[in-house]
Structure 1
Amino acid sequence: MSLLEERIQQIGAPDADAYEAARERLRNQARPAGCLGILEDVGARLSGIFGVMDVHLARKVVITCAGDHGICAEGVSLFPQEVTPQMVYNFINGGASINVLAKHAGAAVRVADIGVNHDFEPALPIFHKKVRRGTGNFAIEPAMTRDEARKSVEAGIEIVDELVRESPLHLLGTGDMGIGNTTPSTAIIAAYSGLSVSELTGRGTGVDDEGLRRKISAIERGLALHKPDPRDPLGVLAAVGGLEIGGLAGLVIGAAAHGVPVVCDGFIATAGALIACELAPKAKAYLFASHNSVEIGHAFMLKHLGLQPLLHLEFRLGEGTGAALAMELMDASTRILADIRTFEEVAIQDAQA
């Protein structure tokens, strides 16, 4: 049995009794029922995941998975691939957007090389999980082999295993870095939604009208060439996906197997989460969506997964930035559940009874 198959089998359901007890406490708190909206259900879900009423998300980690994309040869991105390794070094040196926002949320940032077209020095403090140096150009060939797709997912699983061995993990954020990666992400949601590529394709890093036409054409050619079957998520990933997208999928599956909640970032991280939940439907019980990206296809991914995002900030960066901000709201949700007193606790007659 492969590592992927083992972890899928290990995913259990959250504690339904703890979840219902949390919902009951929320209903009985001294305030109008439901007035704190989405955060009430977030708190209850976290209670179900951990099996306790008073959840403390003490150790939070954002994993930024990096990989390069052969589809960039089609002129789908405003930036050259050389930016991907440059940004990895920026993450390590603490100078990127994710470093600032994660620090504010009390989360560590760790970078994973799943498929960057660059050889990092072995001593660099990242997760060295390279499957290959970038994907193929899926407009003319598969992005990767099926075995490479599985290895990319298992790379994410291995990262979670290593994090859990270090010390207890309470919340995992997923983020991405990879020039051109909105293109495979769009191809993935096109394969699952059945909608036209033109309806789903955004401008990514800001391509002009001609760049957008090239991007749409490249995706359409790739889908016509490979005809990815949505019933075969590894096949979809291999045909038109990305190595870091596979890694992101593995993070979700690995975290779910260890009973750890996951908050995914925007378009690319959600593409990974979509693949994860197609491979392992039980993983969705551990998954939270941080925000609704400006990228057009992201809303369709969230709808496919049945997830309600916590934030609407017009983000389109990636890296895990939305996930880091959402972590603060998830912290707040635990305090809403545990610390707001009930009518009985403050001796107020329950007007809602």
Structure 2
Amino acid sequence: MSASASLSELRLVVLGRTGAGKTTAVRNILGLQDCQQDTNNDGDDAVQECRKHRGEAAGRQVLIVSSPAWFGSGCKPEERAKHISSFVASSSPGPHAFLLCVPANQPADEEAKALDVLKKLFGPSAVSRNTIILFTHTDVLEEDEQLEEYLVTWRKDLMELVERCGERYHTLEIRSGEQEGRKTVEELLEKVEQAVMESGTQHFSCPLYEEAEEKVRERQVEIVRQRRRGELNDQVSLTDSRPEETVTEEEMEAVREEAERSIGDLNVDVDGIFPSTSISPSSHAPSFLRGLWEKLIGWIRWLSSLVRRESLLGSLVGLFVGGPFGGMVGATVGSVATEVGRRKTEKTK
């Protein structure tokens, strides 16, 4: 039996830093337009609540849970516990894949930390078997440049993320039409199904997800009993352990949604996963470098029609080294990179 035949609904958890394109990813997978299914525009990735989306994609029923960037340094401990509990309950009994949105135009330090957190929270297999890197903001690539070529040639830090996730990565951003766009969605879901088959399980699970599912089911029973007592004047016995048998499938789906929202915080060891929430003086340096990186990417976009990336690479080296010596080093690096690129182009002809 194929994976698509055995999975009645694919459950996906979309994670990523603020601005990583989580909302656009959800919209692309489900084929949504604008604000359908409470999906905001791409600028609203800073939403502070977990959101659940259902739809059909490539002939499959898909449930997607998108979560705020709870693994970032700006999130308070109580918010972390709330967000983790929320997306775990919403994707219970366990997702088929975690999709980590990674901007191709940013350093990968924050995403590396996110994988570390997933490993601590759910165990090593959550990263090595059930996480797929979903690259976003791929407009940094040149017009004829493939994503794999960009990663191998320029972005060893991004390749390290891919390697940690069992070489699984994808992008939904293409420069062709709608038909090709739907094809990329189908390819992504096939990768999810392949990961499930290779894991040898029906879906990802761990003690935290088992705890969540148990609490959700208990809350379901409690909600149904409360409703039946009101509707049937106590005709449903309180000793009945399975009152949901008298409830329609549509009613049970609504009851489960309510149960997932009301189970409260799970047993998440936030302090153990995030031992320090304070910002040390040394943390200002990465922030500065990240800001410098963002400015550099802006220059690349603006100057893409005027200069090649090789020249900008030399400029960046000169900027970091500084002084007359830095200028000479930068010029040398730029010249070498240009020559390598020229020879590479000639070889492919």
TM-score category, normalised to shorter length: under 0.3
TM-score (norm. length: structure 1): 0.26
Highest Rg: 1 or 2? Answer: 2
TM-score (norm. length: structure 2): 0.26
